[in-house]
Every structure is written in structure tokens, then in C-alpha cells.
Structure 1
Amino acid sequence: MQKFITLGEGHGDLFELEALIGHNASRIDRGIFLHTKDGPSTFILIMSPVRGNFQAIYTIYQGVLYKEGTGRKYTLIQEWCKAADIPVVEFSTRDPEDFYEREQFYQYITGVLRLNHLIPPMT
């Protein structure tokens, strides 16, 4: 079972992410940037499964400005992941605004991640 956990708003999300990477690097499977055509990007940090099949997926929901490889948050996250030897994947997705609720967007992303073998299949 994968569970999306949205980190704080504003700069709080960045501080929480830095602490997660700094203190739990050995439990982190990978980081993923989800870019959209016009809006801000979403970053997700996929943890390794624990206690059977529970897998936490931490997210900075639409909180990363990205313009052709630039943006301060984007750069910081890339640097932290590189320093902790965490692989980072990037790809384009549908805009979260296409969905009525955030949970629907997370369900869509779960399907995309499973199809690309970035998270385990349902059990």
C-alpha cells in the first residue's frame, strides 16, 4: 500500500524534505520530479517499503518552480539528492488541476509510477 504524505506549505516543505533526506537517506528509494506544461512541478520522494507492503511517498505538491532546469527549489532538491546518492527521475504528467480532488491526482500518479516500475504493483 502506497500512501502519499504532503509536506508543509511555503518553505516548510523544503525544510521537511531536507530533514527527510538528511536523516533517512538509507530508506529512500528515489526522487521524482513531475513536470506539467505550464504550472509548477511536484516533487515526490519514494521511501522503501516497510512492515510488509506499506510505502510512504512524501510530496511537495505543486511547489517547485521549474523553467528548463532552473529554479532555486529545484536546484536545492537536486543537490541534496545527489549528495545522498538518491536517484532522481523526471517526466511530464497531466496537470493536477485536471482533477477534481488532489486524491484523484495521487491515484493517477500511482498508476503512472506502477506502469513505469517505479513503485511495486498492488498486492
Structure 2
Amino acid sequence: MIQKFIELGQGYGDIFELCEIMTTNKHRIHHTFAFVSDIDGKKVASIAVALKPVGESKFMPIYICREGIPYDKENQSKRFSIFENTVKELDELLITLEVKNSSVYVDEQLYYHYLTGVLRLYHYIPAMY
């Protein structure tokens, strides 16, 4: 199974696009994620959805809006609320994970390899075969 992160932007339009991808592909949703990290003492979230492969394909896309959303459980940002409400409407479980920030990595592809490893370790996505 090949998993690949497909990065969307960090603005409102990108959040709506991610939510639309989830709504139109509800039957393909594997898991939804909030990756929480720390940047200079502030918590930020990346939100993502992993979709099941189409037909006989061995490709699992993971759409992500990376680290553009302030994360505060008590005082949630509008962007995070929009995503969380879509997850609830689709009757899915939002998996929240504390991860390293992408700024730790020299290359964003290394960061995505790290996230893929974390998701495989916890069996949230299938192993590579």
C-alpha cells in the first residue's frame, strides 16, 4: 500500500475544500486526523483525512492542511471547528496525535515520512506491501 500526503493550503478555502473532499468521498474515509505540534510555545494543528484506495488501486491519499490552525481546546479556532463539525456530521472519529513540528525537518518530505511512520506504528494506516 502506498500512502502519499497531498498538501492543501492553510486558509479557510482550503479547509472548505478538505471538508468537501470528505463529504463527497464519505464512503472512502479511512480515518480523520488532527496532528498537534508546538511552534515557539504555541500549539498548532494540521488536519487530515486518509481515504481508502479506489477499486484495485494500492494508493491511499492523505489530504492535509499543514500547521496553519491555532489549536486550543477551550478557545477553538473557526477553521478547526469547521473541520471538527464535518467529522461529526459524517459520523467519523477524529484521531488527535501529538507530533513533532515540520520545522524540525530540513525537507517537508522527511516530515511526511515521519508522519507516515507514526500512522503505521499505531496501525491507523496499513503497512506498505
Q: By the TM > 0.5 criterion, same fold? A: yes
Count of residues paired in the alignment: 123
Amino acid across the alignment from 1:16: E
Question: Cα distance, 1:9 vs. partner?
Answer: 4.2
The 1-side partners of 2:47 and 2:115 are apart by 12
The 2-side partners of 1:119 and 1:108 are apart by 13
Q: Which structure 1 residue ranges, 5 or more long, are not aligned?
A: none
Question: Cα distance, 1:118 vs. partner?
Answer: 0.3
Normalised to the residue count of structure 2, the TM-score between the two structures is: 0.88
Q: Which structure 2 residue ranges, 5 or more long, are not aligned?
A: none
Residue 3 of structure 1 corresponds to 4
The 2-side partners of 1:71 and 1:116 are apart by 28
Runs ≥4 residues deviating over 4 A: none
Which of 71, 79, 83 matches 1:66?
Answer: 71
Question: Cα distance, 1:40 vs. partner?
Answer: 2.0
* 1:63-93 per-position Cα deviation (integer Å, ceiling 9, x unaligned): 2211125221111111101101122100100
The 2-side partners of 1:6 and 1:47 are apart by 14
Mapped contact 2:9–2:66 kept (Cα < 8 A): no
Amino acid across the alignment from 2:93: P
Is the strand fraction higher in 1 or 2?
Answer: 2
Residue 122 of structure 2 corresponds to 116
Q: CA RMSD in A?
A: 1.3
